[in-house]
Amino acid sequence: MGAFVIRGCEIYLGGAFVPAELEVRGGVVTALGGGIVPGEGASVYNFKNCIVVPGLADVHVHLREPGFSYKETVASGTRAAARSGYAALCAMPNLSPVPEDAATLAQELDIIRRDAVIDVLPYGAITRGQRGEQLADMSAMAPYVCGFSDDGRGVQSRELMRAAMLEAKRLGRPIAAHCEDNSLLRGGYIHAGEYAKAHGHRGICSESEWGPIARDIELLRETGCAYHVCHISTAESAALIRSAKAEGLDITCETAPHYLLLSDSDLQEDGRFKMNPPLRSERDRLALIEALRDGTIDILATDHAPHSAEEKSRGLAGSAFGITGLETAFPLLWTGLVEPGIISRERLVELMSTAPARRFGIESGIEPGGPATFAVFETETTYRIDPERFASKGRATPFAGREVRGRCVLNVVRGREVWRA
């Protein structure tokens, strides 16, 4: 990209947005402030109605490769992320083969090195094959992964989860837990609420999520590992995590845009409304908003889980669990949370950039002498979400047609332009 100067923006610096200019040379931020005189050969970008933020980090995505490239690939998923302001993704291990030791992880790492257009940090599996029977070779994978997860499946055995926590602590890596009690699912596929009752659907009770969280908090008191709860969706989950934080336990959690902006009252008989956990009640949604505001929720992730059109064409009962999320997250949250004053724009940056980077060891921040990794968002122009324009192979989103603002117009990772609108 060469040397360049960005003008006309507010830049997120030291936890606040300030009007400033930014110069980049050799992949490094060389100047921040006002009145920067472009050096020889430098390009100048004049933006209007734009903010500059540290590159976003999504700690919960499914890139589907190796094994399921008809759903998504590392190339298509990272292109979708790049055009959405992301600098780094943490990729879940429900792949084929499952990354359970050095050899299987190497297959995923080879694809990442070859095809990723932004940074991708894989998770290693907690158990072999994600079957919940025997610990994976966590020690062999630890130097190359951001943490350990069996996402898509909960670890049902208390003793196995205790062993995993102890090993993760020894290795200095977090556990990212998909909390789901299989014994309480009973064939459910949407929230066990009013919509399920009215339309004759099988419901998933809230306890199937918060029960395992309560169990793991007990184990956390014993083991002291770094513990992260994936995609919380219930009021009870938030309350348990809030209490655990008050005890001083090393616990963080994430939720996703759909749990903050939709509830089961928004459901339609369409596979694009089906994900796991499911959309919960309005009471749960409001509890998550409060948890976002009071700091209980640390991170906003997408749980980007693309599927083929056919897999999402079978209605609520028959469709695969999961929706695409990378290309809608920032504009949805800007329009749905920041603009109404539910959270500040600074808090949104904390949730989508600085907090996930801090928890999972991802490079972040905009400062002189540091790497030029940032995204520019234009926040005034309204557009409609159109899945047919996605770079992701996944098209299923409950937000199709929604009007939003907050489009990424430039994304730079270590001085390299990975997207420009």
Which pLDDT score is estimated for 280?
98
- H or E element: which one contains 205? none
pLDDT in tens, 247-291: 999 999 999 999 999 999 999 999 999 999 999 999 999 999 999
- The pair of structure tokens assigned to 187 is 């064939």
What 3-state class would DSSP assign to 217?
helix
CA distances from 117 to 25, 68, 74, 208, 331 (A): 20, 19, 9, 37, 21
**CATH number attached to the domain at 55-360:** 3.20.20.140
Pick the CATH number of 4-52+369-420 from 3.40.50.150, 3.20.20.140, 3.40.50.300, 2.30.40.10: 2.30.40.10
What 3-state class would DSSP assign to 195?
helix
pLDDT in tens, 46-90: 999 999 999 999 999 999 999 999 999 999 999 999 999 999 999
Confidence of residue 40 (pLDDT cuts 50, 70, 90): confident
Mean pLDDT of the chain: 97
Active site (catalytic) residues = 303
- Res 399 pLDDT > 90: yes
- Res 93 pLDDT > 80: yes
- Res 1 pLDDT > 80: no
- The pair of structure tokens assigned to 360 is 């999972």
> Per-domain residue ranges for the chain?
4-52+369-420, 55-360
- Res 39 pLDDT > 90: no
pTM of this prediction?
0.97
- Mark residue 360 as left, alpha or beta (left: phi above 0; alpha: psi -120 to 50; beta: remaining): alpha
Q: What average pLDDT does this structure show over 328-347?
A: 98
pLDDT in tens, 172-229: 999 999 999 999 999 999 999 999 999 999 999 999 999 999 999 999 999 999 999 9
